[in-house]
Structure 1
Amino acid sequence: MSMKLMFYEDNAQSLIEEYTITDEQLRYTKSPQENIELARQDHSRHAILAMDGDKLVTFFVLHEKDGVKPYTSNDKALLIRSFSTDYYEQGKGYAKKALQLLPDFVRQHFPHINELVLGVNVPNKAAQALYTKCGFVDEGRRVMGFRDEIKVMSYSMKDDDKCKI
């Protein structure tokens, strides 16, 4: 698996159109199309593609500035939102690998960031287990999402080898 993370650019639109996200996944997240539209309107949102060769396998958004405010008071934090893996690529380790690549990607493109935060729906136990395995910590904060209560999890950029399993 030779994965890499990259910023979405318009020439990747066909990859987005081929990306499969199910109704079950959409209970917990917005589609890549919706997220790209939001990122076009809000320059503090960055659509990120996790590529395995020329195949888009995982998609998420890094949201800075006001985006993190509901989750943390740290203005040097970056919010990971709408994290999903293509339905046909699930169970192959791509989500974990994307999370392993993320700290270095953030250091390279957002050097001022010292914390990653994300919100995970309380009923979504599989995602919580993945994030925990990759060094995210539940610090007991809860916020209301668009459907369910959300557990806020945090990853300190100072703790480097948390997701090297």
Structure 2
Amino acid sequence: MRTHTRTGTRRGRSSGSSATPHSPPCWTTGPPSPRSCTVGGQDIGTWLHAQRTGWEQLGDGQRERLAELDVEPLPATEKQAPVKEATARKGVTAAFERGVAALAQYKTREGHLKVPRAHTEHVVVDDQEHAVKLGVFLSNSKSRRGKLTADALQQLTDLGLEWT
């Protein structure tokens, strides 16, 4: 069995952990959260959370080693995904509309839709200026074509977007 120091390191290596010899390791002081604990530059909090939520997918030996460290699977109530609010879709639609407006502005100015991936277009929507990463928007729209609504596809097609 490997032995661990109070800071969570092995073989006497320094970890840069915030734990002191008189305090418990950071993974035992509360529920793990992203960036809650780093050892040797590795985010242990995120790793530990992944082990606890994916307990069923771990092998028997992995579960045994984690159990030796007093790590247990998360209760089913903590595994459930948070409920998304109704406003989340509105933000996606607004971002898409800004992207379409930026694409139309670019086409009017340049005469084509061959947008470099790194190009950012500044567009005014609802009296506010927005910086739209137009090359990224176009690339994502093409790669996610199957997930776009019929209306979204029509808007892009009306601008003359070629899907290949």
Structure ID, larger Rg = 2
Fold agreement, TM-score > 0.5: no
Instruction: Point out the structure with the larger helix share.
Output: 2
TM-score range, shorter chain: under 0.3
What TM-score does the superposition give when structure 1 sets the normalisation length?
0.21
Instruction: Point out the structure with the larger strand share.
Output: 1
What TM-score does the superposition give when structure 2 sets the normalisation length?
0.21
